[in-house]
Amino acid sequence: MKGTKHEHDDAAAALRQTSLRVTKQRVAVLGAVRDHPHADTETVIRSVRESLPAVSHQAVYDSLHTLTEVGLVRCIRPAGSVARYERRIGDNHHHLVCRSCNLIVDVDCTIGQAPCLTPSHDAGFVIEQAEVTFWGLCPDCAAAGAQPTGDDQFSVV
């Protein structure tokens, strides 16, 4: 895993706060998601294998599932994309997605407290989070006159 001893210690402390056992795989997965925001599972696996070459796909999948379940990682699923993972948690931010190159960028809520949106009718639900994805063309693609690709491969920022 790339990163400093401090980053490793931070990951270990985060795991301990959730009562999860600190394992090399979990620390490496947290580091991979930190280093590659909006990464898909294959990107996380490649990154983890830089420091743990023998790690299995299943170990990474299991770690991502567990880390998502305890709230250390957030899973997002933009339409037409595989699951993506990020370490930015707890702030109910949203995403910008380029329809041409599929770049994903975080965007803060524009106004108000979380959730950022209030539905016109809540049907009795206690709303905890609003998820918004803004679709369009990133500056580079817009300047190049790009068109949406329909491609399911996403870039990460």
- 15 and 70 part of one domain: yes
Residue 139's pLDDT is: 92
The CA distance from 26 to 11, in Å, is 8
Q: Do 45 and 52 form a contact (C-beta atoms < 8 A)? A: no
Of 45, 76, 107, the one marking the end of a domain is 76
Amino acid residing at 86: E
Binding site listing: 98, 101, 138, 141
CATH at residue 103: 3.30.1490.190
Domain-embedded: residue 83: no
Residue with tokens 């210690």: 9
The CA distance from 75 to 44, in Å, is 13
Binding site listing for Zn(2+): 98, 101, 138, 141
DSSP sequence for 54-97 = T--HHHHHHHHHHHHHTTSSEEE--TTS--EEES--SS--EEEE
Number of domains in the chain: 2
Of 76, 102, 120, the one marking the end of a domain is 76
Residue 80's pLDDT is: 79
Per-residue pLDDT of the chain (157 residues; tens, 9 = 90+): 455 666 677 888 999 999 899 999 999 999 999 999 999 999 999 999 999 999 999 999 999 999 999 999 999 988 878 899 999 987 878 888 888 888 889 988 766 566 666 777 778 888 777 778 888 999 999 999 887 765 444 444 4
Residue 52: which H helix or E strand, with range? none
Of 49, 76, 103, the one marking the end of a domain is 76
Kindly list the distances between the CA atom of residue 17 and the CA atoms of 13, 14, 65, in Å, as whole numbers in the listed order: 6, 5, 17
Three-state SS at 155: coil
Residue 47's pLDDT is: 97
Residue 48's pLDDT is: 97
